[in-house]
Amino acid sequence: MRIGAIDDADEGPSGRGFSAIGLPVRIAVGSLIVALIAIAARMPSAPAPVPMLNRTGEVPAIVGTAPLRLTEPGIDPVRVEPGRIDPKTGLREDVLGRGSFSALEAPVLRLAVTRGIGAERAPGLFVLVARRAAMAARGELPLSLSRMVPRGVVATRFGPAEIAEATLSGPLTRTCTGFVLAQAGLRIDGFLCAPLGGAAEPKALACTLDALDFDDQSDPTASALFRQAKGRSACEPAGTATADPTGRTGSIERRRPSTKN
C-alpha cells in the first residue's frame, strides 16, 4: 500500500491529474501570445533611426576679402565680398559687384572670380548666371533668371568669353548680358546690365573685364594669370570702333544696308 501510494504521488507532476489541470492554462497562455502578436502587427512600426549627416566641411568656408578691384570709373562704389572656399573642390570664389539692380538708370555688374585647380571645369552658362543672380549681394534681393538667349563669343583680355542675353527678375525686370570665360586655374562669370534695361554691348563687357585687377602675394598663380592678361586688352579706345564681325551690338542685330536698287 505504501509503495503504491508513493508511486501515485510520484506520478503527480507528470500524471494525468496535472495534465488535466495544465491544459487549460497552456491554451490560455497560447491565446494570449497570439493576441499580443496580432496587436503588435497592427501597431505602426517605429521609423528607422535617420543617421545624422556629418555636415562638417559641406558649408563653404568664409575667408578674408581678396585684393580684387575694378579700375573702371563709375559713380557706384565697387563691393568685394569675403571669399568662399568650396570644401569639396578646394576652389576659392570671390565676388565683386557694382550698382543696384533696382536702379534702372545705372549699370549693374556682378561677377565671380573662381581660382584653383579645375576652376575651368564649370556647368553651363545658364546655371552660372542663375546661381550668380540667386546669391544676392548685401542689401539686395535675390534675382531669378527667366530667359536666356545665346549671343556667341566676345574677345576679352582673358580670352574668348561666352555671352548670352539674360532676362533677370527681382524688384523689376532687366535684360542683361551673362558671360563666362575660363582658362586653366581661373574662371570668371557673372552678368552686366546696361542702363535703362538694355543688355550690355560686347565692347562694354570687354572694357569692364579689362579693368578687372587682382594681385595677391598669397596666390602667385592667379596673380600671374592677371598680369599676363594685361597685355591682351580687347577694349578699344573711344572713337576707334570697328565693325562688329557678329553683326550684333548687345542684343540688337545690325541691319545690313540693302544692295537692291
Q: What's the rounded Cα separation, in Å, for the pair 249 and 154?
A: 11
**How much is the pLDDT for 49?**
40
Distance from C-alpha of 156 to C-alpha of 212, rounded to nearest angstrom: 11
Q: Indicate the pLDDT class of residue 240, thresholds 50, 70 and 90.
A: very low
Helix residue ranges, H only, the chain:
2-10, 16-42, 125-134, 202-210, 220-229
List the grid coordinates of 7.
508511486
The DSSP-derived string for 66-116 is: P-EEE-S--SSPEEEPPPEE-TTT--EEEEEEES-TT-TTS-EEEEEEEES
Q: Which of 22-26, 92-96, 168-172 has the lowest mean pLDDT?
A: 22-26
Strands 108-115 and 92-98: antiparallel
For 35-93, write each residue's pLDDT tens digit.
666 555 555 444 444 333 334 457 889 999 999 999 888 888 999 999 999 999 999 99
pLDDT tens digit sequence for 48-57:
443 333 344 5
Mean pLDDT within 232-249? 49
Position with higher pLDDT, 247 vs 58: 58
**What three-state secondary structure class fits 1?**
coil
Domain ranges across the chain: 2-42, 61-238
d(C-alpha 234, C-alpha 210), whole Å:
7
Q: Per-residue pLDDT averaged across 173-187, rounded? A: 95
Residues 146-168, mean pLDDT to the nearest whole number: 95
pTM of the full structure: 0.68
DSSP state, residue 129: H
Q: By 3-state DSSP, what share of the chain in percent is helix, strand and coil, each rounded to 5?
A: 25, 30, 45
Arithmetic mean of pLDDT over the chain:
78
Q: What is the DSSP letter of 43?
A: S
Please say if the pLDDT value at position 148 is more than 80.
yes
CA–CA gap between residue 156 and residue 96 (Å, rounded): 18
**CB of 66 within 8 A of CB of 83?**
yes
- pLDDT value of position 197: 81
